Structure 1
Amino acid sequence: MFFLQDAADAAGTKVRGGQTVRCPWLLLGGVATSVASDKEIIMVDQAMPGDVLVLTKPLGGQVAVNAYEWLKKKNGRVEEYGLDKEKIVRAFQQVTEQMTRLNRNAAKMLHKYNAHASTDVTGFGILGHADNLARAQQAKVKFVIDVLPVIEYMDEIAQKMPNGNGFNLFGGTAAETSGGLLVAVNPGSAE
């Protein structure tokens, strides 16, 4: 349980209450609440014409976790798709580190670089969250996504799966667990 307190300390919060359930594996959930002034919050609807979008964590987490599960279960999919076991393990290690990294540091950078709008990228995938971000804008803006960071080898795995688009990674709806922030910022600040 000490790691829970360590994570809470890193996030600047406290562990309160809880429920204990006996289970053969760790189950952990939580809710974070905060009190903040309007100036501290980067709203979702304030993008400006000419802003660029920046994603703070690469995509492909769902692919990495599932490929690693196939590897561990030895269900034949790794061989069926001709996948590289070492690359799967490296991707899983990367996504595990990524999922345990708080978005707190990225959120602090939003103020430093005068971000105009931001949202997280989680269960609806990059497309769902980008669409929500675009629809929320008060100003007339147009978002164009040309290039997206993807965890190494996850695009190759997705291509080798049925329909050449495993988990709909290329369609933009692959879920991301503890995904990054999608941020609208002035082009000069993005560099």
Structure 2
Amino acid sequence: MSEKEIIFCKSGGCTAKLGAGVLEHILERLPKGQKDENLLVGYDSSDDAAVYKLNDYQAFVQTLDFFPPMVEDPYLFGQIAATNALSDIYAMGGDVKTALNIVCFPESMDLNILGKILQGGAEKVQEAGGSLAGGHSIADSDVKYGLSVTGIVNPKKIWKNNGAKSGDKLILTKRLGVGIICAANRVKQAPEGAMEQVIASMTTLNRTASEIARNFCIHACTDVTGFGFLGHLHEMMDGRLSSVIYADQVPVFDGAMECAEEFLLTAAGQKNRNHLEGYVKFEDISFGMEEVLYDPQTSGGLLFAVPKAQADDLCEKLQIAGLPAAIVGEVTEQKKSEIFVIDYKKK
């Protein structure tokens, strides 16, 4: 498909998200209303999805995600947007049940393009084991697509993003560098084969990683998306813990650090850096690796906080399933620096 067929947005995918600082400023001022004891997880915790308790054994998980395209192929865009939206259910430890399409589309554009977007999304909902139950569309000047998704989880087995404990190991299930590679591809400077690797990752459901992890004691989980690895790790630390990240152990797409060194970056990545400057300390880490850690991910992997005794076993089982999972750091008691990034081999 040509760029004329899909408007190639400057901030497609999760790079289109509002900055974390802006959201915090707005959300803290919203009226809370009377507390509902059955609302187990709401927006006040910066978690991946809302969770509402139905009974002692069931709660439903609700999430919503949509964005402009970051690839030219409308079918692939539909797959990526749907995979990304479905991920929040898996990040809470839940199973996908239903999904609704959210569509913004120019009336002057070929409707066959919209059909391919919706086809890609519908196939991913089916792969997730869910049912596409409808949706809503509006006429807009640009293309945007995503899903509202409902899942089911045991209320006693919810994975919140802020339950990590000192001593936990941190496991990441997908490689980083999506935003950087997409930015390089936009100006036709992405390394050969890099975009294909990124697309394969963005269209891989986090279902397998989530299902494997349910056999372990997961203290906290989040999916790594628009706020970058460090932004989502910052939320996981919850203002009460610190962490050490082993930069040389973090899985990264081939060529991503080299592209970053050439300043093939995203504006969203710089927003992430500005927001997190006071929380992160780097020790002898290259500029390219710093940018990878700040880089906004579209349909990124899951980040688990798991007891040290279980970390190697979980990581091995994720790898056997074909995922590029790695132990990328550990959680510590609160220290002066919330996030300390080092090379494991030099520690």
TM-score under structure 2 normalisation? 0.45
1:170 aligned onto 2:287? no
1:146 aligned onto 2:246? yes
> Please, which of 233, 241, 245 is the counterpart of residue 130 of structure 1?
233
Partner of 1:188: 309
> Please, which of 168, 180, 186 is the counterpart of residue 63 of structure 1?
180
**1:167: how far off?**
4.5
- Where does structure 1 differ by over 4 angstroms across 4 or more consecutive aligned residues? 20-23, 166-169
Greater RCO (CA < 8 Å, at least 6 residues apart)? 1
Whether contact under 8 Å (2:221, 2:303) holds in the other structure is yes
Structure 2: distance between partners of 1:185 and 1:132: 16
CA deviation map 1:99-149 (0-9, x unaligned): 111111111122123221111111111111000000166xxx432111222
**1:94-105 to 2 correspondences below 5 Å:** 94-105=197-208
Amino acid at match of 1:125: G
Higher helix share: 1
Amino acid at match of 1:34: G
TM-score under structure 1 normalisation? 0.78
Structure 2: distance between partners of 1:11 and 1:162: 34
**1:38: how far off?**
1.6
1:179 aligned onto 2:282? no
> Please, which of 22, 27, 33 is the counterpart of residue 150 of structure 2?
33
Long gaps (5+) in structure 1? 72-77, 79-84
Long gaps (5+) in structure 2? 1-117, 271-288, 313-347
Cα distance change, pair 90–50 in 1 and its aligned pair in 2 (3 A): same
Whether contact under 8 Å (1:42, 1:110) holds in the other structure is no
Partner of 1:52: 169
Q: Kindly, what percent of the aligned residue pairs are identical?
A: 32
Secondary structure in 2 aligned to 1:142?
strand
Higher strand share: 2
> Please, which of 221, 231, 235 is the counterpart of residue 118 of structure 1?
221
Structure 2: distance between partners of 1:142 and 1:10: 37
Whether contact under 8 Å (1:117, 1:185) holds in the other structure is yes
RMSD: 2.7
